[in-house]
Amino acid sequence: MRIWRLAREHLGTVAVLSVLALSACALVAGLPRAMQASYDEALRRALTAAPAVLADLTVTAESRSREDDLRERAQFGSRDRLWHEIVPARLRPLVASGGHMSAKTYRTPITGTSGQAYINLGWLSDAGRRVDWVRGRAPGAPATMRYEGRTIPVFEVGIVEEALAEMGLRLGQTKIVGESDYAAVRIAGVFRAKDPADRSWGHNADILHVQRLEPLQKHITALIPDAGLSVLSGEGRNLTYRWVLPVNARAARAAAVPDLQAAVADFDRAVALRSTGAPGPYHVQTGLPKLLGDFQAELSTARTVMSLVLAGLLAVALGVIVLAVGLLAGRLDHTLTLARARGGSLRQVAGTAAALTGLAVAPGAAMGYALSYLVPGPVPPIVHAGPAIVVLVSVGFAAVRLAIAHRLPLRERRDDVAAARPSARRITLEALVVVLALAATYLLRARGLGASTGPDPFLLAVPVALTAAVAVITLRCCAYPLRLLARLAARGRAAVPFLGLTRAARARSGSVLPVLVLLPALGVSVFAAVVSDGISGTQWLASWQQVGAPIKVTSDIEIPAAEIERVRALPGVEQVVPAQTGEVQVGYGGEWAGAIAVDVNRWRRVLADAPVGLPALSGGALVSPELRGRGTFEIGWQSRLTLATRGVIASVPGFYTEGKFLVVPIGVQLRPAVNTLLIKGDASPAELARLVPSATVTSQEAALAAIRDDPLTSAVRWALVVVTAALAAYALAAVVLSLVAGAAERARAVSFLRTLGLSERQARRLTVLEILPLILVTGLVGLGLGLLLPVALGPAVDLSPYAGDLPVGDYPLDLFLPSALAAGLAGVAVLGAYAHTLVSRRRGLGAVLRVGDLA
C-alpha cells in the first residue's frame, strides 16, 4: 500500500500522534538528565560543605625510632608520588592535585606546667605559601643548648598571633618542652594565615588556633622549617607523618558513588601493603566512605520517588499514545478491510499499520530525543531506552491490534450488542489481580525497602498492581450506579436523561478502557501533589524545630544587659525573651542534662503562630522522657535547686530533640546569666549580629531556605511539579482522544434519535450525559488512588532527608489541585460534547445512515 498517501489522508491523526510522541520522549529523556544533574550537584555540594579532614584522603604513619624518621623533604616527596600512583583508577578522577605533607608531634607539654600547656612541633610542606610573617622572621635551622647537664636541640619556631595572648607567649621567648626527652623551642616569628578559609587549614586547625582538649589544657602547634626535620625524631616524643590527597568535589558523580566507596577501601589496602620496613603501619584516615554512604541513602530515596513518578509518567504517556494509535487504526479500518477482502495478506495489513504508525511516531520521538540534549546533565540509560520504548510500543500495538481485527477477511462485528457476560476465567483473573495488589501493599508496608542501593523493583511493582486493581474494580462496578440512575430517570417523563445514562451504563469495554487511562494519570499526579505538599509542610515544621523562634540569638558567654536593651529597641523587634542554657548536674552523682531557664509563657506568645510549642509552666520543670518519673529532684546549676516535675516533653524547639534535658522558669536562678535571646519580629539578622558581636544569629526563614535550597530537595520538588503538570495535560489529552474516538458511533446513535424527533438541544444534553458520568467516576477513582498511594507507600519511602530530617508522615488533605484537575476534565468533556453536536449538526442524515438502517 501507499503509505505516504495514507499519511496525507489521515494527516490530522498522524500529526497528533507525532506531537504526543515528541512530548513523551522529551519528558522521558529530559527529566532523567535533569535529575541526574541535580544528584551530581548535590554530591558536589555535600563534599564541599563537609570538613576537609573528613572529605580528603590522608595517609598517616607514626615514627617510633630514629630508623623510622623521615629527615628531609625528598623522603616525603617520594612517598607522596607513590600514594598518587597507587590510587585506584576509579578514585583517581576524584583526587585533586595540590595536596600537602606534614610532620607533627602531639601532646608535647611545656616543662613545668603540670600538663596544662603544650607546644607541639609541626612541619608543613606548603607553609611558605600559606602564611605571612607579621612579626619577627621565619624560623631558621635548629641549634643546641645545655639543659640539666645534657645537650638538647633548640628548634626555631613560628606561632600564630592568637597563641601570644591565649597562652601567654612572647616573641623571642624560649620554652623547654618534654617530660624526659627535652627540647627547647625559641619563638622566632609570628605568622598569620593568608587565607584562613582555605580548606587545607581544616587539616591543620591545631596550627591556626589554640586547642582546648580539656577545660584547663591549651595546645598549640608551632611551625618549624625544613631544616628542623633533620632533628625531629619519634624516638623520644609522639610524632606522626601525614600526606593529604585532597578531594576534587567538582569531579564527583552520583552514579559512581558505589564504585568510589569500594575504591577507598582498595586504596586503604594498597597503602597498608607498603607498611613493610616503613615508619609504623601506613593507613588511610578519611570520612569519605561515611559521607558517600549518607549521600547514597539520601539519593536512594530520591531515586525511588523519581522512579515512581517517572514510571507513572511513561505509562500514562504510552497509554495516551496507544489511544491515538487506536484512533488511527479506526480511521484505517475501512481501507484495510477492503484490502483484506481483495486478497491482501495479514502480513500486509499488519505491515501497513506498523509502517504508518512508525512514520507518525518516529520523527516526533527523534525530535523529542534530540530536544532532551538541551537539558544539561549526564546521560543515564533511560535517556536512550525511553524513546525506543515509545516507538516500539506504538508500532507493536498498531500491528497487533489491526492484525487481530482483520485476521479473517470480511469478519462481521455487531455494534448493537450492549455487553457480553464475562467468563468465569476472566472473573477469576480479575479477582486474583485485586488480591495480589492488596497482598503486595501489605507486604511492602511490613517489609520496607530492600537493601539494594537502586530502586526496589517490589516498590515499583506495587503502584502498578494497585492501579490495575483499581481499574478492574472501576471497570466492573461503574455500570451498576449508572444503571440505578437510569432506572430512576426512567420514572420521569424526559427521555434524554434515561437515554444518556443508559448508553453510559451499556458502554462496551472497548469504549470504557480509553477513559481508564485517566486512572494512572490522575493517581500519579495527585500522588505527586500530595507528596510535594507533605514535604513542604514538614520543611516548615523542621525550620521551627531547628530555631525555636522567628529569630534566635545564642552566645557562648553572657550577653550584657546593655546589648539586650539595644536589641529590644531595634526596629522590627516585637518581643524579646531572654533565656539561659547550660549543662546541669542531676542529683549528686555523675548524671548531667541539658537545661534551659526561660519564661515559658512569654516564649509561648512568641510561638503563637508556629507549628511548635510548649505546655504552660509557672513552677517546677518540664523534663524529657529520660527524666520522667522522678517527682521532685535536685539539680546543680548556679546553686542547688529543688524542682518538681510538671510535665514531660519530647523536645524543646530550637534546643533539644533527644537525650536528657529540662526546662525551668528563669526566675529560679538567683542571677540569670542570659546567653540566648528568643525574638519575635522581622528585624535584620545582620543588624542583630552587629549589636551582639559575641553571638550567632539564626532565623526560621533562613533555616527554611537552607532546607529548601538543598539540591536534592529542590530537584525532587521541582520534578514532582513538572510531572504533575505533564500528567494533567495527558489526562486532558486522553479525554479529548476518547471523545474523538467515539465520535462516529455517537453521531450514528444521535442521527437515529433525530429521526425520532430529538432536537439539537436534546442531542447536546444526551451527549453530555453519555460522557460525563464516566469522566466523573474515573476522576473520583483517580483522586482516591492518588490519596491512597502515599498512605500505602509511606512506610517504605523515607522522605525525611528532604524535610530537615523530620519524618514526612502526615500528608495534608488539600483537594484544591485534584478538584481543579477533575473540574478541568469535566469541562473538557462538556466542551467536547458540545463541539461534537455542533459538527454533527452540519451533516445530513444521509451522510450517517445507510440505506436499510431505518427499515
What confidence tens digit (pLDDT) does each residue in 791-837 have?
Answer: 777 666 667 777 777 777 666 666 776 677 667 766 776 776 666 66
Position of cell 622549617? 225
Decide: 743 and 843 in contact? Cβ < 8 Å.
Answer: no
pLDDT in tens, 211-222: 877 667 889 999
Between these two residues, 603 and 609, which has the higher pLDDT value? Answer: 603
CA distance 121 to 108: 8
Average of pLDDT values for 302-319?
82
pLDDT digits (tens, 9 = 90+) for 621-640: 999 999 988 889 989 887 88
List helix spans (H) across 709-842.
711-741, 743-755, 760-793, 816-841
CA dihedral 663→668→672→674, nearest 10 degrees, is 20
pLDDT at site 288: 93
Q: How confident is the model at residue 507 (pLDDT cuts 50, 70, 90)?
A: low
Quick one: average pLDDT of 488-512? Answer: 73
> In Å, what is the CA distance from 278 to each residue of 68, 79, 241, 445, 479?
6, 11, 11, 54, 83
Tens digit of each residue's pLDDT (9 = 90 or more) over 414-433: 554 445 566 788 788 888 88
Q: Please, which residues bridge with residue 103 across strands?
A: 123, 241
Lowest-pLDDT choice from 174-183, 380-389, 578-587, 756-765: 756-765
Give just the sign of the alpha carbon dihedral 627, 632, 633, 639.
Answer: positive
pLDDT digits (tens, 9 = 90+) for 60-100: 999 888 888 899 999 999 999 999 999 999 999 999 887 89
Residue 229 has pLDDT above 80, yes or no: yes
Model confidence at 409, pLDDT cuts 50, 70, 90, reads: low
Span 508-520, average pLDDT: 65
| Structure confidence at residue 41 (pLDDT) | 87
Nearest CA to 291 among 243, 257, 250? 257
Q: Tell me: the pLDDT tens digits for 653-673?
A: 999 988 999 999 998 887 888
What is the DSSP secondary-structure string of 188-242? EEEEEES-TT-GGGGG-HHHHS-B-SSTT-EEEEEE--GGGGGT--SSSS-EEEE
pLDDT band for 367, please (50, 70, 90 cuts): very high
Task: Report the pLDDT value the prediction gives residue 511, as an integer from 0 to 100.
Answer: 56
Dist. CA 545–CA 536, nearest whole Å = 14
What integer best gives the mean pLDDT of the chain? 83
Arithmetic mean of pLDDT, 451-470: 70
> For residue range 522-576, what is the model confidence (pLDDT) as tens digits?
787 787 778 778 888 888 889 999 999 999 999 988 899 999 999 999 999 999 9
Question: For position 842, what pLDDT does the model report?
Answer: 56
User: What is the CB-side half-sphere exposure of residue 732 using CA atoms within 13 A?
Assistant: 12
Q: Which residues pair with 633 in a beta bridge?
A: 643
At residue 5, the pLDDT reads 78
How much is the pLDDT for 571?
92
Residue 840, pLDDT > 80, answer no
d(CA 797, CA 801): 11
- Is the CB of residue 731 less than 8 Å from the CB of residue 738? no
Neighbours of 373 (CB within 10 A): 13
Task: Give which of 126, 158, 128 is closest to 246, Cα–Cα.
Answer: 126
Q: What is the pLDDT of residue 352?
A: 85
252 SS3 class? coil
Read off the pLDDT band of 852 (50, 70, 90).
very low
Of 131-145, 406-420, 663-677, 770-784, which range is least confident?
Answer: 406-420
* Amino acid occupying residue 508: R
848 vs 146, higher pLDDT: 146
The pLDDT, as a whole number, for residue 277 is 54
* Rg of the chain (C-alpha set): 38
Chain center to CA of 143: 59
Residue 496, strand partner residues:
none
Specify the pTM: 0.75
pLDDT mean over 398-409: 79
With cell 547514597, the residue in question is 296
Above pLDDT 70, what percent of the chain?
88
Confidence of residue 513 (pLDDT cuts 50, 70, 90): low
Check if the beta carbon of residue 810 is closer than 8 Å to that of residue 803: no
More confident residue, 297 or 129: 129
Range in 24-38, 669-683, 785-799 with the lowest mean pLDDT? 785-799
In angstroms, the CA 182 to CA 164 distance is 22
Count CB-CB contacts under 10 A for residue 4.
10
| CA 526/CA 522 separation, integer angstroms | 6
State mean pLDDT over 451-457.
56
CB 316 within 8 A of CB 517: yes
